[in-house]
Amino acid sequence: MTSKKKSAKASKTAPKVKAKPVHGRAKAAEAKPPATPAKAAGKVPARKTEVAFKVGDHVVYPTHGVGLIQEVQVQEIVGHKLELFVISFERDRMTLKVPVVKVASSGLRKLSSRKLMETALTTLKGRARVKRTMWSRRAQEYEAKINSGDPIAIAEVVRDLHRNVGQSDQSFSERQIYEAARDRLAAELAAVERTDLAQATTKLENLLAAA
Protein backbone atom coordinates (compact mmCIF):
# COMPACT_ATOMS: atom_id res chain seq x y z
CA MET A 1 0.00 0.00 0.00
CA THR A 2 1.37 3.39 -0.94
CA SER A 3 1.90 6.16 1.59
CA LYS A 4 -0.93 8.22 0.04
CA LYS A 5 -3.46 5.39 0.48
CA LYS A 6 -2.36 4.78 4.07
CA SER A 7 -2.82 8.45 5.03
CA ALA A 8 -6.24 8.53 3.36
CA LYS A 9 -7.34 5.40 5.23
CA ALA A 10 -6.06 6.80 8.54
CA SER A 11 -8.02 9.98 8.08
CA LYS A 12 -11.23 7.99 7.43
CA THR A 13 -10.88 5.81 10.55
CA ALA A 14 -9.78 8.59 12.99
CA PRO A 15 -12.60 9.70 15.34
CA LYS A 16 -14.00 13.12 14.70
CA VAL A 17 -13.66 15.60 17.58
CA LYS A 18 -16.14 18.45 17.72
CA ALA A 19 -14.54 21.77 18.50
CA LYS A 20 -16.06 23.65 21.44
CA PRO A 21 -17.50 27.02 20.51
CA VAL A 22 -15.27 29.82 21.78
CA HIS A 23 -18.07 32.37 21.88
CA GLY A 24 -19.83 30.72 24.86
CA ARG A 25 -17.65 32.42 27.46
CA ALA A 26 -17.93 35.73 25.75
CA LYS A 27 -21.72 35.53 25.93
CA ALA A 28 -21.61 34.50 29.61
CA ALA A 29 -19.35 37.43 30.40
CA GLU A 30 -21.63 39.80 28.57
CA ALA A 31 -24.63 38.49 30.52
CA LYS A 32 -23.18 39.79 33.81
CA PRO A 33 -24.47 43.25 34.70
CA PRO A 34 -21.81 45.94 34.89
CA ALA A 35 -20.62 46.75 38.40
CA THR A 36 -22.06 49.91 39.87
CA PRO A 37 -19.63 52.63 41.01
CA ALA A 38 -20.42 51.83 44.67
CA LYS A 39 -19.71 48.11 44.26
CA ALA A 40 -16.61 48.76 42.20
CA ALA A 41 -15.22 50.93 44.98
CA GLY A 42 -16.06 48.30 47.58
CA LYS A 43 -18.70 50.48 49.20
CA VAL A 44 -22.15 49.35 50.27
CA PRO A 45 -24.94 51.92 49.82
CA ALA A 46 -26.14 53.27 53.17
CA ARG A 47 -29.41 51.85 54.43
CA LYS A 48 -32.20 54.09 55.55
CA THR A 49 -32.56 54.00 59.31
CA GLU A 50 -36.01 53.88 60.86
CA VAL A 51 -36.64 56.53 63.49
CA ALA A 52 -38.65 55.16 66.38
CA PHE A 53 -39.23 58.50 68.14
CA LYS A 54 -42.51 60.34 68.26
CA VAL A 55 -43.96 63.46 69.82
CA GLY A 56 -44.25 63.12 73.59
CA ASP A 57 -41.31 60.73 73.97
CA HIS A 58 -38.57 61.36 76.50
CA VAL A 59 -35.16 61.00 74.89
CA VAL A 60 -31.54 61.47 75.91
CA TYR A 61 -29.18 63.80 74.09
CA PRO A 62 -25.56 63.10 75.15
CA THR A 63 -24.51 66.66 76.02
CA HIS A 64 -27.83 67.84 77.47
CA GLY A 65 -29.40 64.81 79.13
CA VAL A 66 -33.12 64.05 79.19
CA GLY A 67 -35.41 66.03 76.93
CA LEU A 68 -38.97 65.84 75.63
CA ILE A 69 -39.89 65.75 71.94
CA GLN A 70 -42.38 68.58 71.56
CA GLU A 71 -43.05 68.38 67.84
CA VAL A 72 -41.72 67.43 64.43
CA GLN A 73 -41.15 70.42 62.18
CA VAL A 74 -40.59 70.51 58.43
CA GLN A 75 -38.38 73.32 57.23
CA GLU A 76 -37.33 74.15 53.69
CA ILE A 77 -33.61 74.86 53.37
CA VAL A 78 -32.13 75.73 49.97
CA GLY A 79 -35.08 74.11 48.22
CA HIS A 80 -34.94 70.90 50.25
CA LYS A 81 -37.42 69.87 52.93
CA LEU A 82 -35.85 68.89 56.23
CA GLU A 83 -37.65 67.14 59.11
CA LEU A 84 -36.57 68.23 62.59
CA PHE A 85 -37.27 66.93 66.07
CA VAL A 86 -37.95 69.85 68.41
CA ILE A 87 -36.69 68.79 71.85
CA SER A 88 -37.11 70.81 75.04
CA PHE A 89 -34.80 70.48 78.04
CA GLU A 90 -36.63 71.73 81.10
CA ARG A 91 -33.62 71.88 83.41
CA ASP A 92 -31.48 73.92 81.01
CA ARG A 93 -34.50 75.90 79.78
CA MET A 94 -33.49 75.39 76.19
CA THR A 95 -34.88 73.95 72.97
CA LEU A 96 -32.85 71.93 70.49
CA LYS A 97 -33.72 71.03 66.91
CA VAL A 98 -32.22 67.77 65.66
CA PRO A 99 -32.59 66.78 61.98
CA VAL A 100 -34.27 63.38 61.66
CA VAL A 101 -31.53 62.23 59.27
CA LYS A 102 -28.89 63.12 61.88
CA VAL A 103 -30.41 61.19 64.78
CA ALA A 104 -27.88 58.34 64.67
CA SER A 105 -24.80 60.56 64.31
CA SER A 106 -25.99 62.98 67.02
CA GLY A 107 -26.22 60.21 69.63
CA LEU A 108 -29.87 60.89 70.39
CA ARG A 109 -31.34 57.78 72.02
CA LYS A 110 -34.32 56.40 73.88
CA LEU A 111 -34.42 56.26 77.66
CA SER A 112 -32.40 53.48 79.24
CA SER A 113 -34.20 50.28 80.13
CA ARG A 114 -34.96 49.55 83.78
CA LYS A 115 -32.35 46.80 83.70
CA LEU A 116 -29.65 49.21 82.55
CA MET A 117 -30.64 51.75 85.19
CA GLU A 118 -30.41 49.06 87.86
CA THR A 119 -26.87 48.35 86.69
CA ALA A 120 -26.08 52.07 87.00
CA LEU A 121 -27.51 52.16 90.53
CA THR A 122 -25.45 49.11 91.45
CA THR A 123 -22.38 50.98 90.21
CA LEU A 124 -23.03 53.66 92.84
CA LYS A 125 -22.61 51.05 95.56
CA GLY A 126 -19.16 50.06 94.36
CA ARG A 127 -15.82 51.25 95.64
CA ALA A 128 -14.57 54.61 94.41
CA ARG A 129 -11.77 54.42 91.86
CA VAL A 130 -9.75 57.59 91.75
CA LYS A 131 -6.65 57.84 89.59
CA ARG A 132 -3.56 59.51 91.01
CA THR A 133 -3.31 62.10 88.28
CA MET A 134 -3.65 65.87 88.13
CA TRP A 135 -7.16 67.15 88.79
CA SER A 136 -7.33 68.89 85.39
CA ARG A 137 -6.76 65.56 83.65
CA ARG A 138 -9.34 63.76 85.79
CA ALA A 139 -11.83 66.58 85.29
CA GLN A 140 -11.62 66.14 81.52
CA GLU A 141 -12.22 62.41 81.87
CA TYR A 142 -15.21 62.98 84.18
CA GLU A 143 -16.76 65.52 81.79
CA ALA A 144 -16.26 63.15 78.86
CA LYS A 145 -18.12 60.43 80.77
CA ILE A 146 -20.99 62.79 81.59
CA ASN A 147 -21.30 63.96 77.99
CA SER A 148 -21.22 60.38 76.69
CA GLY A 149 -24.81 59.98 77.86
CA ASP A 150 -24.03 56.49 79.20
CA PRO A 151 -25.79 56.11 82.59
CA ILE A 152 -23.18 53.62 83.86
CA ALA A 153 -20.29 55.96 83.00
CA ILE A 154 -22.14 58.85 84.67
CA ALA A 155 -22.75 56.69 87.75
CA GLU A 156 -19.00 56.07 87.95
CA VAL A 157 -18.40 59.83 88.14
CA VAL A 158 -21.01 60.21 90.89
CA ARG A 159 -19.51 57.32 92.83
CA ASP A 160 -15.90 58.52 92.53
CA LEU A 161 -16.61 62.14 93.49
CA HIS A 162 -19.14 61.48 96.26
CA ARG A 163 -16.41 60.55 98.76
CA ASN A 164 -15.39 64.22 99.12
CA VAL A 165 -18.87 65.75 99.24
CA GLY A 166 -19.09 68.24 102.11
CA GLN A 167 -15.40 67.98 102.95
CA SER A 168 -13.26 71.06 103.18
CA ASP A 169 -10.68 69.76 100.72
CA GLN A 170 -13.22 69.44 97.92
CA SER A 171 -12.67 72.06 95.23
CA PHE A 172 -15.43 74.13 93.68
CA SER A 173 -14.94 72.53 90.23
CA GLU A 174 -15.05 69.05 91.80
CA ARG A 175 -18.34 69.87 93.45
CA GLN A 176 -19.72 71.24 90.17
CA ILE A 177 -18.84 68.12 88.21
CA TYR A 178 -20.28 65.90 90.93
CA GLU A 179 -23.60 67.77 90.91
CA ALA A 180 -23.74 67.78 87.10
CA ALA A 181 -23.27 63.99 87.01
CA ARG A 182 -25.73 63.39 89.86
CA ASP A 183 -28.41 65.60 88.29
CA ARG A 184 -27.92 64.02 84.85
CA LEU A 185 -28.34 60.51 86.29
CA ALA A 186 -31.27 61.54 88.49
CA ALA A 187 -33.08 63.09 85.52
CA GLU A 188 -32.97 59.86 83.53
CA LEU A 189 -33.87 57.79 86.59
CA ALA A 190 -36.90 60.02 87.17
CA ALA A 191 -38.01 59.61 83.56
CA VAL A 192 -37.54 55.83 83.61
CA GLU A 193 -39.37 55.38 86.94
CA ARG A 194 -41.91 58.11 86.15
CA THR A 195 -41.23 60.08 89.26
CA ASP A 196 -39.95 63.61 89.87
CA LEU A 197 -36.36 64.83 89.97
CA ALA A 198 -36.33 65.43 93.73
CA GLN A 199 -37.36 61.86 94.56
CA ALA A 200 -34.84 60.43 92.09
CA THR A 201 -32.06 62.57 93.57
CA THR A 202 -32.93 61.43 97.08
CA LYS A 203 -32.82 57.80 95.95
CA LEU A 204 -29.33 58.27 94.51
CA GLU A 205 -28.02 60.01 97.63
CA ASN A 206 -29.46 57.30 99.89
CA LEU A 207 -27.70 54.61 97.84
CA LEU A 208 -24.41 56.53 98.06
CA ALA A 209 -24.75 57.04 101.80
CA ALA A 210 -25.42 53.32 102.36
CA ALA A 211 -22.46 52.20 100.25
The domain spans of the chain are: 58-110, 114-210
Q: Which fold has domain 58-110?
A: Thrombin, subunit H (2.40.10)
Mean pLDDT, residues 67-89: 93
pLDDT at 170: 75
Pick the CATH number of 114-210 from 3.40.50.10580, 1.20.58.1290, 3.90.550.10, 1.20.1260.10: 1.20.58.1290
Q: Are 125 and 116 in contact (CB under 8 A)?
A: no
pLDDT at 167: 65
Does 4 or 155 have the greater pLDDT score? 155
If we measure between CA atoms, which residue out of 131, 185, 187, 168 comes closest to residue 177?
185
If we measure between CA atoms, which residue out of 195, 151, 161, 180 comes closest to residue 91?
180
Amino acid sitting at position 35: A
Q: Provide the 3-class DSSP secondary structure of residue 34.
A: coil
Q: How many helices (H) and strands (E) in the chain?
A: 9, 5
Does 161 or 6 have the greater pLDDT score? 161
pLDDT at 40: 39
Q: Are 136 and 173 in contact (CB under 8 A)?
A: no
Task: Report the C-alpha gap between 16 and 62 in whole angstroms.
Answer: 79
pLDDT at 48: 43
What are the tens digits of pLDDT across the range 5-36? Answer: 444 444 444 445 454 454 444 444 444 444 44
How sure is the predictor about 3, in pLDDT bands with cuts at 50, 70 and 90? very low
Mean pLDDT, residues 160-175: 79
Reported as type and span, the H/E element at residue 57 is: none
- Give the β-pairing of 80-89 and 94-99: antiparallel
Q: How many CA atoms lie less than 13 Å away from 191 in the CB half-sphere?
A: 21
Model confidence, pTM: 0.72
